[in-house]
Structure formats: structure tokens, C-alpha cells
Structure 1
């Protein structure tokens, strides 16, 4: 894919950085389906798009937080969420593969299309940069951690269904 302008969504190095941000913020130590991380990554990058997610009734206040990030929307028109999300996948997969090779993700989990961060120490400078950005967006990061903890991935009313980013109808029940 040839790009004329830079977009973080299509940068595997930036995706790896975002995965580390999610890991440090939400304490992703247990195995998590890769699609869950992909969805959280999408909303970390585009927090203003959280408004379109079907939320539990007690979580509707998150739309106000999402709306406060609308100024981060790119200056040009972007395709709808599904198209951007699907175009991000190869870059997210490359990022995860790179983190496996670097020792930050468990290879056995990755072989099963899951993400499990290892106990490999993240360099202090990188950890500090992740913490700074997470603190700057603490409201969104907290929402994403809540989504990871409380919203199941598959099935009707799961994360796939509520976001509309992935097909859920063929999930095992």
C-alpha cells in the first residue's frame, strides 16, 4: 500500500507502541483475544469514534468523553469505521509479530491468535513515554480498560456486535 501522507493507523511501529500503552494502562497480563486488542487499539487511536459504539446503559456518559476528542479527527474525510479498522489489521498484526520477536508477547498465545504480554521489562524511557501519553488521555484510557474488563468479545451484545467493527454472528456460543 502506497501512502502519500503519514497516518499512525497504518504504522506498525506506532501500533506496537499503542499495544504497550494498553498493556501498561490496563494491566494486560492474561491471554486476550487479538481482536479485543485490535478494537481497543482502534479506539485509543480514534477516541472520538467511541460515540458510535452501543454502550451498556450505565456507560452512556462515555459518549461525552468521546465527543471531547472530536478535535483530534483528521482534517480530511476518512472512510467509515469498518474500512479504517480492516485496513489497520495488517499493521496491527505486524506490530504484534514484532513484539513476539522482541520478547514482549508470548509466542504460544500468538500462535492461537491471542495476546499475552510477558514479564519482559519495558525500557524505562519507553515506559515513561507510555505513561505520559496515558496520563494525558486518562479518561479515554480508563474507558478502554473498563471495556476490556466488562465487555465480552463475541456473541450478541459482545464487543464485536456493539462496535460493529467485526462480524459476531458466526462466533461459537
Structure 2
């Protein structure tokens, strides 16, 4: 039996990354942060596992209760996060090659969309996606980018998905 999951679908990865970059910080998102945001896009129930919840986004904590439990069981979320990287990297490189993500920003460890690279019809399509209007997406694209990524108080440690000890 073949079971589909969007985590390992290259086209779905392209869509997720464009969606995140379009909705998140317009000045750019670092590679590490994009990887985290993409993971939470795929597995929004994992947002409840961020501990302790960052105080600077405490107003978003009440939205966690609206997130339904996931149907799949993730026994080793850091491993799933690690396995996603090759799909994410391939998708970003393809978006750079197509001129949708800025190569210059990528080289400066910031990923941002090229102005006017997305047709208005595609932007309208993304905005019609029901996930765009959910609390999960709001937390992923509005709240999490406001939290620092590095160090003992950063998202790397709080999520448990990335190594943070050697951050500068």
C-alpha cells in the first residue's frame, strides 16, 4: 500500500516555502528559521511541543488550543526534521534558479521572494488556501519569526529540533 504524505512531496515543498516567504517577514527569513517554519507548516500540532513557550509571543499561546491533534505519530521529530532538509534545500535552489527567491539574499543567509516574481493569480490562489486563515499559519508566519533563533532562549532549543549549543 502506498501512503502519501506532503512532507516528502517536492512540489508541496515548493508551495510551502513560497507560502511561508510570502506571508512571513518581508525582509527575509534565515535558512534555519525557514526550515523550522516549514516543519511546523507540515506538523502544526508540534507547535504545542515548543517549551517553554516564548514570552514575547505569549498572546499567541491561546491559539494553540485551536490546533487539532495530528493523525500521524511522530516518534522522533528531530529525525523527521533532519530528513526534510534535502527536500527543502532542493526546493529553495529550484526557486532561486527560477528567479522567485533572490540569489543575493540567499548568499547572505536570508531568503526572500523577488518582487513581482509571483503572478497575482498565484497570490490569490494562496490566499484562498484555507490553511492561510488558520491559527496555525498565523503562529508560524507572524509569531515564530519574532522569536530569536539562537542560544538557550531561542527557537532551536525550545523546539528541540536543532542544535543550539554552538551558536555564536
Aligned-partner Cα distance in 2 for 1:141–1:109: 24
Contact between 1:52 and 1:163, CA under 8 Å: does it hold in 2? yes
Aligned-partner Cα distance in 2 for 1:47–1:37: 14
Contact between 1:156 and 1:168, CA under 8 Å: does it hold in 2? yes
Aligned-partner Cα distance in 1 for 2:56–2:92: 33
Shifted more, 14-23 versus 76-85: the winner is 76-85
Corresponding residue for 1:141? 137
**Over aligned residues, Cα RMSD in angstroms?**
2.3
Q: CA deviation at 1:56?
A: 2.1
Q: Taking structure 1 as reference, are residues 120 and 102 closer, same or farther at Cα in structure 2, changes over 3 Å only?
A: farther
Aligned-partner Cα distance in 2 for 1:138–1:118: 26
Shifted more, 120-129 versus 79-88: the winner is 120-129
Corresponding residue for 2:3? 5
Corresponding residue for 1:46? 43
Matches within 5 A, 1:121-140: 121-133=117-129, 136-140=132-136
Matches within 5 A, 1:98-137: 98-133=94-129, 136-137=132-133
Gaps of 5+ in 1: none
Contact between 2:99 and 2:114, CA under 8 Å: does it hold in 1? yes
Aligned-partner Cα distance in 2 for 1:113–1:67: 33
Q: Taking structure 1 as reference, are residues 131 and 80 closer, same or farther at Cα in structure 2, changes over 3 Å only?
A: same
Gaps of 5+ in 2: none
Corresponding residue for 2:164? 168
Q: How many residues align?
A: 166
- The TM-score, its normalising length taken from structure 2, stands at 0.85
What is the SS of the residue equivalent to 1:167?
coil
Corresponding residue for 2:19? 21
Contact between 1:49 and 1:66, CA under 8 Å: does it hold in 2? no
Deviations 1:118-155 (A, max 9, x none): 1133123321221122665432222121110x201111
